[in-house]
Amino acid sequence: MDAVSLPQVVFTFLLNASFACMVGTASARYWLRTAAAPWQRPVNGLLDRGEGAAALLCMLATCGAVWAAAAVMAGVPLAEAVPAIPLMVSGTSVGQAACMGAMALALVIAFRLASRGTARFGAAIAILLLVFAASRASVSHAGEHGLLSIDMAIELAHLVLIALWTGGVAVAAWVVLPRAGRRDAALHAYLDSLSTWAGVALAGIVASGIYNSWQRLNAVAELADPGYGMTLTVKVALVAGAVLIGAYNKFAGFPGARSSSPMMDRVILLLRIESVLLFGALLAAAMLTSQQPPAAQ
């Protein structure tokens, strides 16, 4: 990886990671919407602040990704690419999609500030997150088939489901569960929702991932390619590790945590490990964006 593509990978990773955190906070707020436990108020405050910070980081990373794309287009270092940014924004689909995504993020921040710590505008924020995900999907390989194509729809679902799984696990591990009361109905309902939606997300990710891999790889042997194929293999391995942890939590960890504080501590630790693996998979995915699939070489 050279000095021109490295910033693109970094900004893409920050963009995807912050988007996952936004989806994670939004989903956690939805799963806790009917709870009235004493620990929910401070958790909601953290979710609000985290969502706002993630949206701001995502907007900055979006701008940085355009800057890095301008550097790649011009074939110059990042510091010399500033004059190419206006052309990138006005004359390319990448720049136009980034503008649409940045506007959606600005509205997310505005709605969150206007909600004043309540669940107001939750539906509007969810729609804006979908708009942002669509802007990202439109500049992927799937976007080359058209905005109304099956490939585009599958890529959009893939991005949203990855964010739901990654963000849901991360927010649960680092924000909600460490502050939740033990053995109360609100916690049990939250764990049920997390388990159910993580399973749904995983099923959708596997299905859409298989489809995307079939579209982009000529043969299984191409996974040994020193660039794209090996990076994809690392990504799949990280996801597989996260799947194993998730399966343990679903069938043993979450049921045991309902009645055992030590088991809850173990669940939190495993969820944190799972979140690290999933963010590692996001980094591998960001690296794939700077590489050509073997079929395209």
Crossing angle, helix 40-74 and helix 93-115, to 10 degrees? Answer: 160
- Nearest residue to 186 via CA among 23, 28, 4: 28
User: Which residue intervals of 116-149 are DSSP H helices?
Assistant: 122-137
Tens-level pLDDT at each residue, the chain (297 residues): 566 678 889 999 999 999 999 999 999 999 998 877 888 888 988 998 999 999 999 999 999 999 998 888 888 888 888 888 998 888 888 899 999 999 999 999 998 888 776 667 888 999 999 999 999 998 876 666 667 788 888 999 999 999 999 999 999 999 999 998 877 888 889 999 999 999 999 999 989 878 777 766 554 455 556 677 788 889 889 999 999 999 999 999 999 998 888 999 999 999 999 999 999 999 998 998 777 655 544
Largest CA distance in the chain: 61
Q: Which residue range forms the structural domain that includes residue 140?
A: 5-296
Number of domains in the chain: 1
Within 10 A of 1 (CB to CB), how many other CB atoms are there? 11
CA distance 55 to 182: 31
CA distance 263 to 252: 9
Q: What is the DSSP letter of 76?
A: S
- Nearest residue to 73 via CA among 146, 8, 145: 8
**Whole-prediction pTM:** 0.91
Residue 23 is encoded by which pair of tokens? Answer: 């989806």
- Nearest residue to 162 via CA among 252, 52, 27, 10: 27
